[in-house]
């Protein structure tokens, strides 16, 4: 008997629907990250402007 069973078995493939679901989730997370980065940049700019204004 061989020590390494199922050596020739191909790796499991995602079904098309699961793969599409993961791609959509990745796209959504990238969109959320981009929105958060934009919010951060806006807040940094606002803080800079507020600090530079004379009192």
C-alpha triplet 17, 19, 24: angle, nearest 5°: 95
Tokens encoding 24: 């959509």
- From first to last of the 55 residues of the chain, give the pLDDT tens digit: 455 565 666 677 768 798 999 999 999 999 999 999 999 999 999 999 999 887 6
Taking the alpha carbons of 46, 51, 52, 55 in that order, is the dihedral positive or negative? positive
**Dist CA 38 CA 26 (whole Å):** 18
Question: Which residue has 């009192």 as its token pair?
Answer: 55
């Amino acid at each position: 008997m061989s020590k390494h069973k199922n050596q020739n078995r191909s790796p499991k493939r995602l079904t098309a629907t699961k793969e599409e679901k993961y791609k959509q989730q990745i796209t959504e997370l990238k969109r959320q990250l981009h929105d958060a980065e934009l919010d951060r940049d806006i807040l940094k700019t606002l803080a800079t402007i507020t600090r530079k204004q004379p009192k």
